[in-house]
């Protein structure tokens, strides 16, 4: 049974339970229901601060840059929670692990994360006593592995994946690019014939420039930047793996439950940002360049190559499950993670429904491929 079917079953059981309870009480409401509702309705607005984590070095999380630059979160908070005084702050991090530590420490409520950091955040929610998390939506998607690549130094004598035999290749261990690298090596029968070392994207770029490694597996915008600076070239594109490359949004679950209106406002802002990226490509590239400090030519390429789409398809859940299996195999997951418990698209469905711009995909549509002309 897939995650969406489990949600449906759980909802049906909940409705049945409410029906039985209603019959057992002869349809009478609890004695204090009216007073509680009145108290809630008359409760004055509150002051709150929401900190959103994002990563300017990771292009597939750049939906955050549109939300931040155009102040879309503030716009939708003013509509969804008009009586509240909500301060929005942004925290830029060099890696998802930094955001996960900040979320676990209660300093960040929502974060834009790559697929692997998202899953590791979910594990924190299972293993840490004072933290729980929920996966709310996707941000950038790279079809079949697009926006990842294995790079080699300029003028390298390595011209094929087979030439990597006996060589040293770097990548951030436990990342989506690590999975892409291993899958590429597996297809060429080289998994046990290449030495893989752990390097961040920034260090890996330097290693390519200085010829310290035979190759480096990384994600955009670094492959494009390496080529633009003439440090190196693409040996193998991520599409060779035919594994979608995903990034998403994770929130503190307890905070989300207590501040549902804020979560819905955030997802409405994300939805609007994705629509903006599709209909305003040049303006989007300019925002990316201003907020990330990457060259405008590279930012234009990111607008073209990244599908900014929050919708949670069954195929996306399958991709995440494959990433869970990968992280387990390399020893990065110390506890099991149940996607049925971690992923909750109810907030996203409410946000899209309230926006009125387009209906959320039906369950049948979500069973298929990404709808080409519909992004959320």
Q: What are φ and ψ of residue 73, in 5° steps?
A: -65, -45
Each residue of 99-137: pLDDT tens digit?
999 999 999 999 999 999 999 999 999 999 999 999 999
Mean pLDDT of the chain: 90
Fold of 47-141+246-366: D-Maltodextrin-Binding Protein; domain 2 (3.40.190)
Bond preceding residue 85 cis, omega within 30 of 0: no
CA distances 364 to 136, 163, 192, 234, Å, are 20, 45, 41, 38
Give the three-state DSSP class for 216.
Answer: strand
| Residue that is written with structure tokens 């974060």 in the block | 111
Domains in the chain: boundaries: 47-141+246-366, 145-241
> Could you say which DSSP state residue 163 is in?
G
Count CB neighbours of 30 within 10 A.
Answer: 8
Provide mean pLDDT across the span 345-350.
97
Nearest CA to 114 among 186, 50, 179, 204?
179
- pLDDT for 22 beyond 50: no
pLDDT over 90 percentage in the chain? 85
- Rounded to two decimals, the pTM is 0.87
The superfamily in CATH containing domain 145-241 is Periplasmic binding protein-like II (3.40.190.10)
Domain 47-141+246-366 and domain 145-241, same fold? Reply is yes
- pLDDT for 152 beyond 90: yes
Provide mean pLDDT across the span 230-252.
97
């Amino acid at each position: 049974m897939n995650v969406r079917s489990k949600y449906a079953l759980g909802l049906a059981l909940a409705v049945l339970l409410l029906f039985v309870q209603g019959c057992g009480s002869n349809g009478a409401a609890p004695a204090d229901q009216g007073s509680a509702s009145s108290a809630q309705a008359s409760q004055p607005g509150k002051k709150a601060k929401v900190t959103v984590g994002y990563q300017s070095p990771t292009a597939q999380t750049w939906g955050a840059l549109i939300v931040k630059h155009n102040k879309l979160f503030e716009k939708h908070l003013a509509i969804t929670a008009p009586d509240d005084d909500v301060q929005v702050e942004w925290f830029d991090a060099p890696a998802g692990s930094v955001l996960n530590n900040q979320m676990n420490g209660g300093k960040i409520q929502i974060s834009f994360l790559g697929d692997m950091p998202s899953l590791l955040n979910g594990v924190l929610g299972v293993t840490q006593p004072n933290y729980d998390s929920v996966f709310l939506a996707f941000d950038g998607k790279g079809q079949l592995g697009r926006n990842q690549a294995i790079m080699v130094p300029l003028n390298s004598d390595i011209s094929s994946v087979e030439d990597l035999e006996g060589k040293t290749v770097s990548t951030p261990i436990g990342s989506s690019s690590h999975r892409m690298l291993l899958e590429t090596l597996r297809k060429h029968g080289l998994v046990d014939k290449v030495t893989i070392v752990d390097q961040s994207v920034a260090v890996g770029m330097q290693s390519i420039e200085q010829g310290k490694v035979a190759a480096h597996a990384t994600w955009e915008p670094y492959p494009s930047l390496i080529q633009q600076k003439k440090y190196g070239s693409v040996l193998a594109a991520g599409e060779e793996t035919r594994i979608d490359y995903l990034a998403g949004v994770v929130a503190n679950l307890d905070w989300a439950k207590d501040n549902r209106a804020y979560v819905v406002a955030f997802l409405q802002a994300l939805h609007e940002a994705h629509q903006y990226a599709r209909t305003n490509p040049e303006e989007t590239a300019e925002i990316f360049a201003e907020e990330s400090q990457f060259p405008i030519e590279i930012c234009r390429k990111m607008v073209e190559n990244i599908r900014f789409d929050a919708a949670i398809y069954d195929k996306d859940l399958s991709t995440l499950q494959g990433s869970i299996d990968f992280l387990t195999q390399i020893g990065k997951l110390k506890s099991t993670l149940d996607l049925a418990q971690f992923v909750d698209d109810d907030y996203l469905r409410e946000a899209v429904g309230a926006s009125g711009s387009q209906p959320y995909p039906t369950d049948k549509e979500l069973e298929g491929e990404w709808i080409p002309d519909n992004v959320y």
